[in-house]
Amino acid sequence: MKAKTVLIAVLVVLLAVLVIQNSELMPFRLLFWSAYMPVFILVIGVFAVGFIVGYLAAKMDRRKALQPTPAPAAKREGETPALPVREPKKDPGPVPEKSGPPGGSGK
């Protein structure tokens, strides 16, 4: 047998065990809505919602990664930068020490 066929058979058996062991009714409440349903339906529903959210998040992330990012304005040919370029401040050199007693006026 192929590996895919074996995997599907194992998943069907596990699903059957889940259904048999979790067939009792359980209350499900969402805001003002309340319903009774078997536990296995809740488990499968939560799994499906998590799968869909994860799939959509990965799809959006992949789409964002594939979009080319435009070059900064200063790097494009023939354009001037949008903001003026400032020269870095020059180092003033060593700072002279203050004369007098440390800690203030000395009173």
15-63: per-residue pLDDT in tens? 888 888 888 888 888 888 888 888 888 888 888 999 899 999 888 877 7
Whether 87 shows a pLDDT value over 90: the answer reads no
pLDDT single digits (tens) 52-73 = 999 998 888 777 666 666 655 5
% of the chain with per-residue pLDDT over 90: 7
Cα–Cα distance for residue pair 63/65, rounded to 1 Å: 5
Place of tokens 């004369």: 99
> Mean of the per-residue pLDDT values for the chain?
77
Sorted by where each begins, the domain ranges of the chain are 21-70
For Cα atoms 8, 13, 14, give the angle at the middle one, nearest 5 degrees. Answer: 95
Whether residue 88 is predicted with pLDDT greater than 80 in this model: the reply is no
Mean pLDDT confidence for 73-96:
65
* pLDDT tier for residue 6 given thresholds of 50, 70 and 90: very high
